[in-house]
Amino acid sequence: MRNFNKKKIGIIILLIVAILAVGYKMVLAPTLYNKYMEEGNSCLTQKQYEQAIEAFDKAIKVKSKDTAARIQKSKAYVGKNEFQSAVEILEDAQNLDRKNEELLLEIIDIAVTIDGGTAYDFLDIFVQEVGEANLSTNIRNLLNSASESPKPAQMDISEGKYLSSICVKLNKDRMNIGHSYYYTINGDTPDQNSQKYMGNICISNTTTIKIIGYNKDGQSTEVVTLNYTIDQAILDEIKNNIEASKKLISETKTGTDVGSIPEKNKKELQSILDKAETFVNSESIKYDAACDINKEIENAIKQFKDNIVKPVDKSELKSYIDKAENLYNNSTEGSKTGQYKSGSKSNLKKYIDEANKVYSEKASTQEEVDSQVSKLKNAIDVFNQNKIKQTSSVEQKILGKYIVFNNDDAGLGICKFTKNELKCGYMASEGIDGRILSRRESGNTVYYTTPDGEITVQLLDNNTVNFGQTRCKLLNAYQLIGIVYDRWPDMANYDYLRYFGVSQSEIDYFYSH
């Protein structure tokens, strides 16, 4: 008796397990596929589509007349680009309930994305089953739309250059029930004897697609020509640059030692690297976008290499520091000949201190050192110009000075007094030939003989002269640059002022003060 009860209990347990298994299979497929559908078809991987198909197969085996499972399975086949399998499943679903209008509309919604003619075949089966007299307004409108003029093909991916194989599809709003499209890729003009469009056109090489559409009455669209170029060379460049970036990042330490890189610069390259890797793994990569990302990662690599700490040559900077300090330590400010104008030493000391800071800083770059050399050289030049020189004759008092002898609509007339010539002329115009052929001095006046005639300069006081018949102020270089800048800022530079003997260091000093 106990053995009999044990057998009964065992049988009951097996039945419960079987019932649970059947229930699990019935629930599993829709739950699994619905989970995928919540993310959208475009988010599913090929493996997920395969899992969904397998799950719905199990559901159909459990419930053989389940049209909903078949509809979902056909969608999974479309996602895998297996359009003939999708159509076969839809046929199977319709055969289970040929007069079901709601089922028909679901089938057509899927079939029309594959081919409008195929979608019409499902509609035709329904019409034959229920009779034209019994058609709803919705179905009758669908039937009539098959005779509407077809729309010229428009693909979801525009023509252009791409870096890898692509599959292009007709935009759904261009598809209509009963309308079919035919295409060629060999240059021939397509017609109804050409390859029929079924869901997509896959392209792995440079291809010209010619595509035409027909409705059920044979009315056709114009032929649309689309050119797709597949060029993987730029993609290979991006991949090589990705590998080069990875190598740089892994082999370069962060820090301030020679051969290392600041952490900020390493993070910048890593950011561009992540962006490039995401890009090459995306679908339908446009050529122009690839060129942009390739240029971006190339620039990032260059910047990374430029920012690697390199050995710095500070010998020239040290030489100028020593020269400037010697000048500073052996000079005196005052008003006597050989002394320096008030404030000259403090200005020079400021540049010496800046140079010493760069020289002693371990992390200074070569660019920073070279820049400081240039600044210190200019500071020394300016300091030397502030040395008070001995004056005696009228000419000695005006040598090296400038005058502005004209400043009106006619232009800006400038002259500089030098030992060998008078550098005279108008801004941006040809000057006179001011070579000094001879000179004589009488009282407070100097008479210069030049190839262009005699020029008279009369010293009125230490700051003023009569230049010919014009009273002019004697100016130093900085005052002259200021006058030019006030009138024509874009001419207050070396290109325009070098004719009058203005040096680059004087211009730099003007702008720095």
CATH code, domain with 247: 1.20.1270.90
β-strands 464-467, 470-473 pairing: antiparallel
Q: What is the pLDDT of residue 31?
A: 56
**pLDDT at position 34 over 80:** no
Helices (H), 80-208: 83-96, 101-114, 116-130, 137-145
Q: Which tens digit of pLDDT belongs to each residue from 237-267?
A: 999 999 999 999 999 999 878 889 999 999 9
Residue 278 and residue 223 share a domain: no
Structural contact between residues 118 and 102, judged by C-beta atoms closer than 8 angstroms: no
Q: Are residues 400 and 471 in the same domain?
A: yes
CATH number at residue 44: 1.25.40.10
The yes-or-no verdict on residue 14 having pLDDT over 70 is no
What 3-state class would DSSP assign to 513? coil
Q: Is residue 153 part of a domain?
A: no
In a domain, 154, yes or no: no
At 377, list the tokens. 């050289």
Are residues 119 and 33 both part of a single domain?
A: yes
Looking at residue 42, what is its pLDDT?
47
Domain that holds residue 243: 233-306
Instruction: Tell whether the model's pLDDT for residue 371 goes beyond 70.
Output: yes
- Whether residue 347 is predicted with pLDDT greater than 80 in this model: the reply is yes
Of 255, 289, 306, the residue at which a domain comes to its end is 306
The closest of 505, 215, 506, 512 to 374, measured between CA atoms, is: 505
The pLDDT of 95-116, averaged and rounded, is 93
Comparing C-alpha atoms, which of 231, 168, 227, 172 is closest to residue 202?
Answer: 168
Does residue 482 sit in the same domain as residue 403?
A: yes
Q: Which two tokens stand for residue 109?
A: 């919604």
Cα separation, 28 vs 405, whole angstroms: 99
Q: Around Cβ 286, how many Cβ atoms within 10 Å?
A: 15
| Domain stops at, among 282, 306, 330 | 306
Q: Is the pLDDT of residue 282 over 90?
A: no
Q: What is the dihedral of CA 188, 189, 191, 196, to 10 degrees?
A: 60
* Same-domain pairing of 124 and 6: yes
Contacts of 325 (CB under 8 A, 6+ apart): 352
SS (H, E, C) 272-325: HHHHHHHHHCCCCCEHHHHHHHHHHHHHHHHHHHHCCCCCCCCHHHHHHHHHHH
What's the whole-number average pLDDT of the chain? 87
- The pLDDT, as a whole number, for residue 39 is 45
pLDDT at 11 over 60: no
Residue 343, in any domain of the structure: yes
CA-nearest of 383, 382, 343, 376 to 357 is 376
Give CA–CA dist 332/335, Å, rounded: 10
- Domain assignment present for 36: yes
Residue 421 lies in a domain: yes
CATH number (domain holding residue 171): 2.60.40
One-letter amino acid of 213 = G
Task: Confirm whether 112 is domain-assigned.
Answer: yes
Q: How many domains are contained in the chain?
A: 5
Place of tokens 């035709």: 124
- Residues 439-464 have a mean pLDDT of 90
Q: Which of 177, 200, 230 is the last residue of a domain?
A: 230
Do 425 and 324 belong to one domain? no
Domain identity same for 178 and 67: no
Contact 260/252 with Cβ under 8 angstroms? yes
Each residue's pLDDT tens digit, 115-133: 999 999 999 999 999 998 9
Verify that 166 and 225 share a domain, yes or no.
yes
Cα 3 → chain centroid: 81
Same domain for 398 and 451, yes or no, is yes
In a domain, 16, yes or no: yes
Residues 454 and 498 in one domain: yes
* pLDDT number for residue 230: 87
- Give the 3-state secondary structure of residue 209: strand
Query: Which residues are within 8 A (CB) of 86 and not within 5 positions of it... i.e. 6 or more apart?
Result: 74, 75, 77, 78, 110, 114
- Residue 150 belongs to a domain: no
Give me the sign of the Cα torsion angle 100, 102, 104, 106. negative
**Could you tell me if 124 and 250 lie in one domain?**
no
User: For residue 202, which of 142, 141, 260, 157 has the smallest C-alpha distance?
Assistant: 157
Q: What is the CA radius of gyration of the chain?
A: 45
Whether 381 and 398 map to the same domain: the answer is no
Q: Phi and psi at residue 275, in whole multiples of 5°? A: -65, -45
